[in-house]
Amino acid sequence: MDNLGQYIKTKRESLNLSIEQVSEMTKLSYAVIEDIEEGRFDRYQGEEMYVKAYLKKIGEALNLDIDGMTSTYLGLTQELKETELQEALEKEQQEKERIQQRNKVSLDDVKIKVPEFTKSQSVYTDDRTSKYVQSAIVVIIILAIIGVCFYGIMSTKNNVESPSSFSSSQETNVKDNSDDTESNEDTNTVLTDDITIVRNGTLDYSVTLPTNTESIVLKIEFGCRSWSTLYADEVAVDTFEQRLYSKGETVEITLDTTTTQIFRLHNGYNLENKYYINDVEVPQVDDLTSVGDVYFRITNNQTTDTTTLDNTDTTTSEVTE
């Protein structure tokens, strides 16, 4: 079983089964089965647990030696890791040699210039010039201190004389904060003629539908590779394929809302995923960087029959007369 992919492919062909048929039997995608048969296991590095689950499903469908296939796959994985480690070590060694070569400096190229010390008598004996410089520095420092004190006094005076400007600034800040709060409330709710979506919290949404709505269309745009499963009242949805979805992949599924109140989408990762219900985007705010299950709580909007109320009022009035 040195060539694991060829072993699976040969067994499948001997049973006169196509990849599409095996995909239907195992609920695995065509691309995953094709990658395994072609030995492209390097695409699934870091996902060994998923690959072992794939091999188990394929082995059960084709009646293969599951333990043997798993052992062979783990051996291939170890070889890939050792090859990558060796390449990384060689690259690191080459980088060290390149840095050493670049930083290598010959001692002959370094020229040290000995400073020439002056013995000019003017530097040490001209005390008058030194005194003038010292006096000028003292005067500049005094003027700077006076300027700072004057500026502080004038600033304090202006603040005392114009309290109304301070009050106006406070009112402006309060108004800005109020606008920010209203903006946050708006981003948590989507309201259309046919549907209302409210964000209850992180990855938790309430969906209000018109009366007698029997189904919704849920669309998922995956922003990263993720293993996903969909549950309706904690029961797995058969029409939703449980598998590893790729970044950029989009899935649409029609869900029955007559008997289900809560749909839960279990994701391995939720980063940058987007969700739409009946083509209305779900307001996620900061949920694009959150990780966890996504809840959609479905309710039907109850309306009152105005005609019935009017008829009841008329009958009551006639009885009274």
Q: What are the strands of the beta sheet with 274-277, ordered from one edge?
A: 250-256, 215-221, 274-277, 280-281
Percent of the chain with pLDDT over 70: 74
Q: How many domains does the chain have?
A: 2
**What local confidence, expressed as pLDDT, does residue 106 receive?**
53
Give a yes or no: residue 264 inside a domain. yes
214 in a structural domain: yes
Predicted pLDDT of residue 310: 47
Question: Do the beta carbons of residue 223 and residue 215 sit within 8 Å?
Answer: no
Q: Is 178 a member of any domain?
A: no
Looking at the domain assignment, is residue 47 inside a domain?
Answer: yes
pLDDT tens per residue, range 239-296: 899 898 998 999 999 999 888 789 998 987 777 888 899 899 988 766 655 667 889 8
pLDDT at residue number 319:
41
Quickly state the pLDDT bin for 144 (edges 50, 70, 90).
very high
Compute the CA torsion angle 73, 74, 76, 78 (nearest 10 deg): 170
Domain extent at residue 13: 4-81
Residues whose CB falls within 8 Å of the CB of residue 30, separated by 6 or more in sequence, listed in order: 19, 20, 23
Out of 41-45, 106-110, 140-144, 185-189, least confident range: 106-110
CATH of the domain at 229: 2.60.40
Q: Is residue 50 packed enough to be buried (19+ CB in 10 Å), middle (13-18) or exposed (0-12)?
A: middle
Q: Does residue 45 form part of some domain? A: yes
Q: Which residue has the higher pLDDT, 138 or 158?
A: 138
Residue 167 inside a domain? The answer is no
Final residue of a structural domain among 55, 81, 107:
81
Local confidence band at 302 (pLDDT 50, 70, 90 cut-offs): very low
- Indicate whether 179 belongs to any domain: no
The domain spanning residue 34 has which CATH number?
A: 1.10.260.40
Residue 71 lies in a domain: yes
pTM of full prediction above 0.85? no
Q: How confident is the model at residue 138 (pLDDT cuts 50, 70, 90)?
A: very high
b/e sequence 269-293, b meaning 16+ C-beta within 10 Å: bbbebebbbbebebbbeebeeeeee
> For 146-204, what is each residue's pLDDT tens digit?
999 988 888 776 654 444 444 454 555 545 555 554 444 556 788 887 789 998 888 88
Instruction: Give bridge partners of residue 295 from the DSSP assignment.
Output: 204, 264
DSSP label of 206:
E
CB 281 within 8 A of CB 274: yes
3-state secondary structure of 3: coil
